[in-house]
A and B are shown apart, each in its own frame.
Chain A
Amino acid sequence: MKKIESIIRPHLLDAVKNALQEIGVVGLTVTEVKGFGRQKGHTETYRGSEYKIDFLPKVKIEVVIPEEMLDLAIDAIQKTARTGKFGDGKIFVLPVEEVVRIRTGERGELAL
């Protein structure tokens, strides 16, 4: 099993969620996060003084899937979360050792 953590633009969350559901993802976790990439945030002005916004609002999607679904899922996220402009985000893939479904006690892929 693999866990995909992807950081995306907040307004594209719905599109990404739908794409993942279409390929058969049955659960995911979403968190509002803040972060910066290579451009290191941006500047705004207030009453004539500039200030830096170091951390931009993003959404983190965490989804754990069977190994064979990985490429399909990465593809789905990359296609739907991409605008082509700076700040589209990242997709991180991590190994997952075990999953337990709390209500039933099922383990492994069955528990997803």
Chain B
Amino acid sequence: MDGDARVIVDTLWVVIAACLVFFMNAGFAMLETGLCQAKNAVNVLAKNFVVFAVSSIAFWVVGFGLMYGDGNGFAGLTGWFLHGADNSPATGEAYTGIFSALNWTGVPLDAKFFFQLVFAGTAATIVSGAVAERIKFISFIVFSFVLVAVIYPVGGHWAWGGGWLAQLSTPFADFAGSTVVHSIGGWAALTGALILGPRLGKYGKDGSIRPVPGHNMSLATLGTLILWLGWFGFNPGSTMAADAAMITKVALNTNMAAAAGCLLATATSWIVLKKPDLSMILNGTLAGLVAITAGCNAVGLASAVIIGAVAGVLVVVAVIVIDQKAKIDDPVGAISVHLVNGVWGTLAVGLFASEGGLFLGGGVARTVSQIIGIAAIGALVGAVSSAVWLLLKLTLGIRVSEEEEFEGLDTGEHGMEAYPSPLPPPFEAAPAATTGNAMLEAQPRAANG
């Protein structure tokens, strides 16, 4: 293929993959709405909808520059508003510009930005589920902005932007973002859920635990299927090149891990909880997807199945431990899916990588680098997002009033309901006594009951 055609094909692939990842916003929205109560549906939908708009602006203004602009080992220091020298799609030695960390992919800068943006948006949307049904809308918006403008890009710079984790003698490996996207979102979700506290009545003073069933399992299921589809952009797209062998390998690894996660979560909940809980089946599928995200390019098919299977078991155990032992209220299981399995999937690269994996005789070097990356990014995001949540708590406030939480955030935050009862017809429209009677008499009897 000549150079121009190569650029066109790679760009098409990157943009199509980005569109699939964009569509994951719909998946997250449906999943979270379904697993929350009807009285909060408008609020959940609004959060999931605006979060991508917030991310788009935040990532453009500073996020992308902090993540991929040339700088030091800890942060990018140029490229605000996507400004600066750049001769993409030139690659490697031929590249001159300020986004050197992305000089390996031969697509225009705008394609690089668009693809990275939908990833940043995903990290932000993960937080939404864990803080659902009690967070103030405005505080969620502000937190999302800070997450995508600063927290995600700095962590991302360390791993993907040529930062210190990428410069380790055995570089930290996270192909599509088990850590960079999912754990970062997961750590932010965990700190948010902790600082907010549980939903009212979720944990009784006597130690009792009150489950809060989701109001629409059909939406939750649809949302999860959309996410599964979106992952075929998320992982295979991270090649950022139409590399036939690699994108198909990654797609297949991704699918098999999801399948294994789904089945093992089904089995685990069947055995441990006596019945195969659908919400666990959905979480298990996502857990498999999150876990394979880091290593989908680096492991064989059988390893992908094992990684997904472990994820399916882990997620069910994590949901139960987090909900019932730690008493951290996470309505959709975001922490169990994205944080626990983001960590597992990142670690699994060290264990299962075809080249250098511990279990494949490659020694411990890769595993050590993975652990360093997991811990460093965990510490960064845990500390900074805790600080941001606490600052918001002291200023705007992060929690709606008890009264509002009881009535539902739909009326409290938005003044509307997702499922309003039908209004009675306006008074003027009712037939006046005399003419109304005549009309009724004229109709066939059956119509009047």
Contact = CB atoms under 8 A, between A and B. Distances in A.
Interface of A: 27, 44-51
16 contacts: A27-B449, A45-B273, A45-B275, A45-B277, A46-B213, A46-B214, A46-B277, A46-B279, A48-B272, A48-B273, A48-B323, A49-B210, A49-B323, A49-B324, A50-B211, A51-B210
A27 B280 CA distance: 47
Nearest to B209: A49
A37 to B, nearest CB: 23
A47 B331 CA distance: 10
Contact of B280 (A44, A47, A50): A47
B72 to A, nearest CB: 44
B274 interface: yes
Contacts of B274: 45
Contacts of A44: 213
B319 interface: yes
A89 B209 CA distance: 31
Contacts of A51: 210-211, 213
B320 interface: yes
A48 B277 CA distance: 8
- Of the four ranges (under 10, 10 to 19, 20 to 34, 35 or more), the interface on chain B belongs to 20 to 34
B39 to A, nearest CB: 17
A49 B201 CA distance: 14
Which of A45, A49, A50 has its CB near the most chain B CB atoms (within 10 A)?
A: A49
Interface string B211-247: 1111000000000000000000000000000000000
Contacts of B449: 27
B282 to A, nearest CB: 11
Which of A46, A47, A50, A51 has its CB near the most chain B CB atoms (within 10 A)?
A: A47
Contacts of A47: 211, 277, 279-280, 319-320, 323, 333
A51 B204 CA distance: 13
B310 to A, nearest CB: 19
A12 to B, nearest CB: 22
Contacts of B320: 47-48
A26 B81 CA distance: 75
Interface of B: 209-214, 269, 272-275, 277, 279-280, 319-320, 323-324, 333, 449
Which of A44, A46, A48 has its CB near the most chain B CB atoms (within 10 A)?
A: A48
Contacts of B213: 44, 46, 51
A44 B273 CA distance: 11
Which of B273, B275, B319, B333 has its CB near the most chain A CB atoms (within 10 A)?
A: B273
Nearest to B332: A47
A50 B280 CA distance: 15
A48 B316 CA distance: 9
A47 B279 CA distance: 7
A47 to B, nearest CB: 6
Contacts of B279: 46-47
A30 B269 CA distance: 40
B287 to A, nearest CB: 14
Nearest to B202: A49
A49 B213 CA distance: 10
Contacts of A50: 211
Contacts of A48: 211, 269, 272-273, 277, 319-320, 323-324
Nearest to A51: B211
A62 to B, nearest CB: 15
A45 B278 CA distance: 11
Contacts of B273: 45, 48
B326 to A, nearest CB: 13
Nearest to B283: A47
A51 to B, nearest CB: 5
A53 B209 CA distance: 15
A43 to B, nearest CB: 11
A47 B281 CA distance: 10
A3 B210 CA distance: 41
Contacts of B269: 48
Nearest to B449: A27
A21 to B, nearest CB: 13
Given A46-B277, A49-B210, 4 more contacts: A44-B213, A45-B211, A48-B211, A48-B323
A49 B333 CA distance: 14
Contacts of B211: 45-51
Contacts of A46: 211-214, 277, 279
A48 B274 CA distance: 9
A80 to B, nearest CB: 22
A48 B209 CA distance: 10
Contacts of B280: 47
A27 B449 CA distance: 8
